Structure 1
Amino acid sequence: MKKITNPFINIFILLLVLNSCSPKSETKNPAYVKLQIVKTEKDFEKLVAEKGPAEGFYQFADSNAVIKREHDTLIIGKTNIRNYYSNPRYQNVTVTWSPDAVTVSDAGDMASSYGKYVWTSKDSSGKLQVSKGVFHTVWKRQKDRTWKYIWD
């Protein structure tokens, strides 16, 4: 009986074996992704502090991002989010936040974070108004490997 050997099958089997033996890539490692999300949250917070909510929420939004705000209003799309935060009432505000927990998808391309925020503004009489709450953000890895929120 003649043994039939196809070099392509041998290469395919070798590649399968090598792939199964390789360590999990960093982009799928949950601990690594969690660190990326925490860093992204801090970079997001810093940009909002430096350039205001309109620019910060715009820069970190996926093109199809959605934010839910007062009275369960949904603002859809990063341009609409920028327009929402361009309202004069958001010009002199500060907001700080920090994630308490981050969850990562098995594929490593989606994550969610939640934690506490403090929103500070002045009313029309100049009196300081402080609002505290809990945020929940859903993140999506972009083709350029950055993270943008799709829900906030």
Structure 2
Amino acid sequence: MNPAAAVRQRAIDEIREADQNFSIMSEKQGMAKAFTTYAADDVIKLNDGAAPTVGFDSLRAQMSRQPANGPMLTWQVLKADAAASGDLGYTFGQWMLTKKDNAGKRSSSYGVYVTVWKRQRNGQWRFVVDGGNSTPEPK
């Protein structure tokens, strides 16, 4: 593999891993913790049916309104890619949001997402744009 291709492939692998770890944190520690851990300072989060959330402080405020025992969001990466420079990339995948009603009955909704990742000065990957939409349950 030539050096440029190796840089790109390493970035793809790192982005995929960051996205998977992001989902694991969301499942185990909640959406608020996961989103505020993996977001860049200049984040833009697209919100279904509402204006986007722009900037880390706005995202933290939005996430602070999530109930501690609220819905659980998890996802699976289906595709990842990166620029040849190795400093920008994206993931695309499927998500599942599981909620409990007042009687404790679970229900799930599904969708797809795309997340744009940017390598930070410290070498860590943080998302700069995240959004998705609802879909029927995957078959």
TM range (shorter): 0.7 to 0.9
Q: 1:52 aligns with which of 20, 30, 33?
A: 30
Task: Give structure 1 regions of 4+ aligned residues with deviation exceeding 4 angstroms.
Answer: none
Q: Pairwise mapping of residues 1-152 of structure 1 onto structure 2 (< 5 A)?
A: 24=3, 29-89=7-67, 91-152=69-130
| Distance in 1 (alpha carbons) for counterparts of 2:48 and 2:102 | 19
Task: Specify every segment of 5 or more residues in structure 1 that has no aligned partner in the other structure, as ranges.
Answer: 1-22
Q: State which structure, 1 or 2, has the greater radius of gyration over its C-alpha atoms.
A: 1
**Percent of aligned pairs with the same amino acid:** 23
Aligned positions, number: 129
User: Structure 1 residue 92: deviation in Å?
Assistant: 2.5
User: Structure 1 residue 90: deviation in Å?
Assistant: 6.3
Whether the aligned pair in 1 keeps the contact of 2:99 and 2:106 (CA below 8 Å) is yes
* Larger RCO (alpha carbons 8 Å, 6+ apart): 2
Task: Specify every segment of 5 or more residues in structure 2 that has no aligned partner in the other structure, as ranges.
Answer: 131-139
Q: Which has the higher strand share?
A: 2
Question: How big is each residue's C-alpha offset from its partner over 1:2-44, in whole Å with a ceiling of 9 and x where there is no partner?
Answer: xxxxxxxxxxxxxxxxxxxxx6278x62221111011101211
RMSD: 2.0
TM-score, length basis structure 2: 0.82
Whether the aligned pair in 2 keeps the contact of 1:97 and 1:118 (CA below 8 Å) is yes
